């Protein structure tokens, strides 16, 4: 019986990108369904009644919510190819720690950079750079966060790359100047088909942010 | 001869995050050294082992440091295979992880952090929000002794350490009735089941002291 895989997503979402990349990495055929977050569809409300958020992965009718949970689910359900998580429990714990770090510490400041002004925006920029430097230190001289193979932490982080351009413009800073190794890592990831297919062009995001601000009522 | 395992846990008696690790270690019969940390005076060891978050719990296993309570629980489950706590099936695992995230993010926010900052009216609204969130757990318990089925699992440890044995003490402290047996019969049954499990029972913080502590934590949030 063929698997039915549906992804409810929103094109600029760095979280949705994680799931897209994971599915592409495993060569899983999926039905991508663009959602209107300002007019939520019945299927979104039915499949994620708790949070009403994207991405939602629906596998043979059963929903899996939360992007990193989806990435792990995909890895466990379709074990072929390169596993996203190493088999050693300690290395797995390291990877999950950094995934959690990205969610807790990296995402928040980005909202301040594009969404706030003045002191708040400056504080967001400062914090974002600090967090990126921690990530860069963790990356070190490795090809990917997991070492030689593209995996969980790379997937967790790469979606932010297409947002770098707009963040730099809003915050008036250069990520490459602050974190050159991280940019080099991102460019390596972009060479992967799964990533190139899943991330929108930076300039699309840059054009989109002012429209988003209007829609959510920030000047 | 087996190499001696060194397992050390840095924790705080009142922290649901560190209590759930103790429950897991006891459930699996893993001997460990416990280091009690003081919230206001974190030890140099803790700050060295967890420089980014500076929080408990911290598990040290044969010199390796593992951080973040849910990550630690999964590490323990993968390292010591007896009394497994995560389900085998990937979909069931994803559900357990999803609800565990709900507990540690939305439920603690509505049920404690936001409540600490709110006035009486605000607290009533947050209590209602918290009930709605906990209803997701209530539904999951129908027909089961524990979230893990016949035995205590990952979600039992996360939700158990947090809700009945931590947040409820917070609600008691501010005189707020959030959960009733009438509205949450499955939850109430589940708590009674949990209290019968030795590994869980032994790790429940003493009530009176804990209520006092939760009031203090509320104050801390308000003055931050």
What ipTM was predicted for this assembly? 0.96
Tell me: pLDDT of B2 over 70: no
> For A130, which residue in chain B has the nearest alpha carbon?
B52
DSSP letter assigned to residue A200 = P
Q: Give A 53-112 residues with CB within 8 A of chain B.
A: 59, 62, 64-66, 69-70, 72-73, 76-77, 89-90, 92-93, 96-97, 100-101, 105
Over residues A10-31, mean pLDDT: 98
Tell me: pLDDT of A28 over 60: yes
Whether residues A96 and A69 share a domain: the answer is no
Tell me: pLDDT of B20 over 60: yes
The tens digit of pLDDT for each residue in A35-72 reads 999 999 999 999 999 999 999 999 999 999 999 999 99
Q: By percentage, how much of chain B surpasses pLDDT 90?
A: 97
- Residue from A52, A97, A130 whose CB has the most chain B CBs within 10 Å, to mutate: A97
3-class SS string, chain B: CCCCCCEEEEECCCCHHHHHHHHHHHHCCCCCEEEECECCECCHHHHHHCCCCCCCCEEEECCEEEECHHHHHHHHHHHCCCCCCCCCCHHHHHHHHHHHHHHHHHHHHHHHHHHHHCCHHHHHHHHHHHHHHHHHHHHHCCCCCECCECCCCHHHHHHHHHHHHHHHHHHHHCCCCCCCCCCCHHHHHHHHHHHCCHHHHCCCCCHHHHHHHHHHHHHHHHHC
Whether residues A133 and A158 share a domain: the answer is yes
Instruction: Find chain B residues with C-beta within 8 A of A50's C-beta.
Output: 102, 133, 136
Whether residues A203 and A95 share a domain: the answer is yes
Tell me: pLDDT of B1 over 60: no
Is A82 within 8 Å of A27 (Cβ atoms)? no
Q: CATH number of the domain that A11 lies in?
A: 3.40.30.10
What's the pLDDT at B3?
60
Tell me: pLDDT of A1 over 70: no
Q: Does A118 touch chain B (CB under 8 A)?
A: no
Query: Which 3 state secondary structure label does DSSP give A207?
Result: helix
The structural domain count of chain A equals: 2
**Angstroms from B27 CA to nearest CA on chain A:** 19
CA atoms of A108 and B123, how far apart (whole Å): 26
The answer to whether position A141 is within a domain reads yes
CB contact under 8 A, A92 and B52: no
Dig out the tokens for B15 from the structure: 């922290």
CA atoms of A161 and B31, how far apart (whole Å): 44
The tens digit of pLDDT for each residue in A166-196 reads 999 999 999 999 999 999 999 999 999 999 9
Q: Which of A2-6, A148-152, B3-7 has the highest mean pLDDT?
A: A148-152
The tens digit of pLDDT for each residue in B169-189 reads 999 999 999 999 999 999 999
List phi, psi (to 5°) of A25.
-60, -35
For residue B13, give every residue at least 6 positions away whose Cβ sits within 8 Å of its Cβ, in sequence order, or none. B19, B36, B205
The answer to whether position A142 is within a domain reads yes
Helices A180-190 and A118-139 pack at an angle, to 10 degrees, of 70
**What are residue B61's DSSP bridge partners?**
B7, B64
β-pairing verdict for B64-67 and B58-61: antiparallel
Whether residues A71 and A95 share a domain: the answer is no
Whether residues A21 and A122 share a domain: the answer is no
Is A29 within 8 Å of A199 (Cβ atoms)? no
Whether residues A58 and A94 share a domain: the answer is no
The answer to whether position A155 is within a domain reads yes
Picking from A77, A98, A122, the residue at the C-terminal end of a domain is: A77
Q: Which domain holds residue A201?
A: 89-215
User: pLDDT: is A146 or B69 the higher one?
Assistant: B69
The tens digit of pLDDT for each residue in A80-93 reads 888 999 999 999 99
Whether residues A137 and A44 share a domain: the answer is no
CA atoms of A35 and A4, how far apart (whole Å): 18
- Residues listed for chain B: 224
Whether residues A101 and A208 share a domain: the answer is yes
The answer to whether position A84 is within a domain reads no
**CB nearest B98 (choices: A65, A101, A105):** A65
Is B178 within 8 Å of B139 (Cβ atoms)? no
The tens digit of pLDDT for each residue in B117-170 reads 999 999 999 999 999 999 999 999 999 999 999 999 999 999 999 999 999 999
Is B85 within 8 Å of B144 (Cβ atoms)? no
């Amino acid at each position: 019986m063929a698997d039915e895989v549906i992804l409810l997503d929103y094109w600029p979402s760095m979280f949705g990108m994680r799931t897209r990349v994971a599915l592409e990495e495993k060569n899983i055929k999926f039905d991508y369904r663009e959602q209107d977050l300002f007019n939520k569809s019945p299927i979104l409300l039915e499949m994620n009644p708790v949070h009403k958020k994207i991405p939602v992965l629906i596998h043979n009718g059963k929903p899996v919510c939360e992007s990193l949970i989806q990435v792990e689910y995909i890895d466990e359900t379709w074990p072929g190819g390169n596993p996203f998580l190493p088999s050693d429990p300690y290395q797995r714990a390291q990877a999950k720690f950094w995934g959690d770090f990205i969610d807790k510490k990296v995402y928040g400041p980005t909202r301040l950079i594009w969404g706030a002004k003045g002191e708040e925006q400056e504080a967001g920029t400062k914090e974002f750079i600090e967090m990126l430097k921690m990530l860069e230190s963790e990356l070190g001289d490795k090809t990917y966060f997991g070492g030689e193979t593209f995996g969980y932490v790379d997937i967790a982080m790469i979606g932010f790359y297409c947002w770098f351009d707009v963040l730099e413009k809003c915050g008036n800073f250069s990520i490459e100047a602050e974190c050159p190794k991280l940019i080099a890592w991102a460019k390596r990831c972009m060479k992967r088909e799964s990533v190139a297919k899943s991330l929108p062009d930076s300039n699309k995001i840059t054009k989109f942010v002012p429209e988003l601000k209007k829609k959510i009522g920030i000047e | 001869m087996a190499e001696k395992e060194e397992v050390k846990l840095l924790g705080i008696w009142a922290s649901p995050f560190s209590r759930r690790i103790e429950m897991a270690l006891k459930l699996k019969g893993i001997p460990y050294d416990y280091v009690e940390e003081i919230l206001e005076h974190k030890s140099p060891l803790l700050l060295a082992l967890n420089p980014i978050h500076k929080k408990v719990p911290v598990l040290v296993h044969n010199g390796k440091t593992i951080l973040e309570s849910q990550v630690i629980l999964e590490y323990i489950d993968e390292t010591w295979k007896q009394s497994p706590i995560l389900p085998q099936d990937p979909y069931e695992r994803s559900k357990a992880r999803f609800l565990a995230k709900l507990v540690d993010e939305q439920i603690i926010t509505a049920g404690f952090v936001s409540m600490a900052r709110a006035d009486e009216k605000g607290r009533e609204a947050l209590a209602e929000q918290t009930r709605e969130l906990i209803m997701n757990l209530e539904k999951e318990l129908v027909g089961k002794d524990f979230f893990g089925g016949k035995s205590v699992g990952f979600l039992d440890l996360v939700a158990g350490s947090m809700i009945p044995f931590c947040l409820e003490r917070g609600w008691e402290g501010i005189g707020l009735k959030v959960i009733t047996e009438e509205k949450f019969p499955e939850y109430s049954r589940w708590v009674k089941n949990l209290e019968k499990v030795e590994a869980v029972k032994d790790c429940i913080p003493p009530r009176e002291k804990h209520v006092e502590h939760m009031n203090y934590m509320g104050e801390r949030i308000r003055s931050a």
